[in-house]
Amino acid sequence: MIRENRLTAAEYAQNFSDIHPPFETRDAALVDANRCLFCYDAPCTKSCPTGIDVPKFIKQITTDNLHGSAHTILSANILGGGCSRVCPVEKLCEGACVYNLMEEAPIPIARLQRYSTDKAIASRWPVFQRAAPTGRRVAVVGAGPAGLSAAHALARSGVDVTIFEKEALGGGLMTYGVAAYKVTPEFCAEELDFILSVGGIGINYGCALGLDVTLDELRRKYDSVFLGIGVGLARQLNIPGEALEGVVDAIRFIHTIRSEGYPAVAVGDKVAVIGMGMTAIDAATQARRLGAGEVTMVYRRTEEEMPCTKAELDLAMMDGCRVLWLTAPREVLGSSGRVTGLVCRRMRLGEPDSSGRRAPVDTGEEIILDVDMVIKAAGQMPYDGLMAPEVSRAVDGLAPVFAGGDCVNGGKEVVDAVQAGKEAAAAILTYFSKC
């Protein structure tokens, strides 16, 4: 049965507490900071999409130059605080740490990054000084990581930025789309305030592109427009029964957790999660943490091909989620309009497909899972036509449109969106410098 309010307040608090707690003391941070070898042309930095100078910011922790450390991080990644919580560091900076090659634990880069940025954000250090106003005005659509990153970079350079956000809060997927035990809504709000504290950025909440404001209108009123609108379209399974009550998409499921609070979110007794990406993991673990009795993750390929990291898989396993590898959904069964089961086919791996991964091939063997809820996390689809940073040039007196983040790349990490925002801001500033 699908129902909400399965746990006590204390149980919810326990289940959704910070999964990567910060260093408790300066001494504790220094033990790890001092282990850093201060590599040259460091693999960690090269593995960070925003190129944070990791050895430098860690060195600055050891010399008690925390202001400098925070500046090093935030000047490369204005969401450095949030990224220290949500980045899959095992496949980025920490995964590249040279200690891995010594069979030693890597430097806890994310935790050290959090150490510096938490202090900067909590104390509202004036890390950045805004340049004199240039008189230029840019509209940014979407207050997610890409939009905030672009807005901050533009505002620092003296541009006046207005952000149009359809939700009631800023932060985008950081606020609405990430597992709550990774980053709290309170932190998202603090980080947003910190970003806005540079000045020159205003946000219009509850203002959706296409409904409340049109692109043409923005192109007429502003000198440039940046679209950081994310990926809103969940990939459908296109199987019978997908419309039954109890079939939800993971993005919506997580959004509800983040916007309505844990007790309000209904979960089944037995839940199937389709997919094996980061969002699938976030959905599966949070279903368990909301009180679902059994969670089964269904993935049509093997551990070799899964999009999530090993650390994420381990997290799901530790939460008691079961994984059915080489299994693809075929039909959702229902009774009285509600989910009662999921029919799957066993697969085997065939030749590599266009993604380079070996494609699953149906073996014909069928299994039926006894479930009352199905969460779809089979990926998201980018909007057609947003595949370039500069979408539309200035024509007919209309300002040029730039885009970046998930809406362009199809849905990558927060840190990728931050970098895209940075690059778009640089492109916009270059455009301004030429006209």
Partner 1 sequence: MADLSTDFLGIRSPNPYWLASAPPTDKQINVLRAFEAGWGGVVWKTLGSQVKNVSSRYSAVDYHGSRVMGFNNIELISDRPLPLNLREIRECIRLFPDRAMIVSLMADNDRKSWHELIKQVEDTGAHGLELNFGCPHGMTERGMGAAVGQDPEIARLVVEWVMEVATVPVITKLTPNVHSVVPTGRAAAEAGSQGLSLINTIQSVTGVDLDSFVPNPNVGGRSTFGGYCGPAVKPIALKMLTTIAQDPVTSKVPVSGIGGISTWKDAAEFMLLGSTSVQVCTAVMTHGFRIIEDLCEGLSNWMDSKGFLTTSDFIGRSVATLTSWEELDMNYHIVARIDPAKCIHCGLCYIACEDASHQSIALTPGNPYNTYTIKEAECVGCNLCKLICPVDSCITMIEQRHGPEYLNWKEYERRGLPLNDH
342, β-bridge pairs: 332, 369
Distance between CA 236 and CA 321 in Å, rounded?
Answer: 23
- Identify the bridge partners of residue 210 per DSSP, sorted by sequence position: none
Cβ atoms 339, 362 nearer than 8 A: no
Give the footprint of partner 1 on residues 52-91 (CB under 8 A). 62
**Residue 207, interface with partner 1 (CB under 8 A)?**
no
Q: Is the CB of 5 or the CB of 34 nearer to partner 1?
A: 34
- β-strand partners of 225: 139, 401
Q: Which of 41, 304, 351, 396 binds partner 1 (CB under 8 A)?
A: 41
Q: Which stretch binds partner 1 (CB under 8 A): 8-16, 94-102, 337-345, 359-367?
A: 94-102
Whole-number Å distance between alpha carbons of 50 and 257: 29
Interface residue with partner 1, options 28, 37, 381, 388 (CB under 8 A): 37
Q: Any long-range contacts for 346-351 (C-beta under 8 Å, 24+ apart)?
A: 347/300, 347/301, 349/301, 349/302
Q: Which of these segments, 35-43, 79-87, 274-282, 332-340, binds partner 1 (CB under 8 A)? A: 35-43
Q: Is 340 in the site for partner 1 (CB under 8 A)?
A: no
**Segment 96 to 135, residues that bind partner 1, using CB under 8 A:** 96, 98-99, 101-102
CA dist 132 and 137 (Å) reads 13
The reply on whether position 40 binds partner 1 by CB under 8 A is yes
Q: How far is CA 337 from CA 244, 246, 332, 334, 379, in A?
A: 5, 9, 11, 6, 25
Nearer to partner 1 (CB atom), residue 14 or residue 34: 34
By the rule CB under 8 A, 38 interacts with partner 1: yes
Q: How far is the CB of 363 from partner 1 (least distance, A)?
A: 38
CB of 408 to partner 1, least distance (A): 22
CB of 29 or CB of 192, closer to partner 1: 29
Which one of residues 15, 16, 23, 47 is an interface residue with partner 1 (CB under 8 A)? 47
Binds partner 1 by CB under 8 A, chosen from 2, 7, 30, 361? 30
Does residue 364 sit in helix, strand or coil? Answer: strand
Q: Which of 64, 370 has the CB closer to partner 1?
A: 64
Q: Which is nearer to partner 1, 54 or 308 (CB)?
A: 54
Residue 108 or 241 with smaller CB distance to partner 1: 108
Does residue number 28 form part of the binding site for partner 1 (CB under 8 A)? no
Our CB check for partner 1 shows the closer of 99 and 432 to be 99
Instruction: Rank residues 37 and 105 by Cβ distance to partner 1 and give the closer one.
Output: 37
Long-range interactions of 14-18: CB distance < 8 A, separation 24+: 15/181, 15/262, 15/289, 15/290, 16/180, 16/181, 16/262, 16/286, 16/289, 17/181, 18/181, 18/184
Question: How many chain residues are in contact with partner 1, going by CB under 8 A?
Answer: 20
Q: How many CB atoms lie within 10 A of CB 208?
A: 14
Stretch that binds partner 1, among 44-52, 82-90, 120-128, 268-276 (CB under 8 A): 44-52
What sections of 157-267 are H helices per DSSP?
173-176, 185-196, 215-221, 250-260
Nearer to partner 1, 48 or 429 (CB): 48
Do 133 and 158 contact (CB within 8 A), yes or no?
yes
Tokens representing 244 are 């039954």
The least distance separating partner 1 from the CB of residue 39, rounded to whole angstroms, comes to 4
Helices and strands per DSSP (H, E), number in the chain:
17, 16
- Where on the chain is the footprint of partner 1 (CB under 8 A)? 30-31, 33-34, 37-44, 46-47, 62, 96, 98-99, 101-102
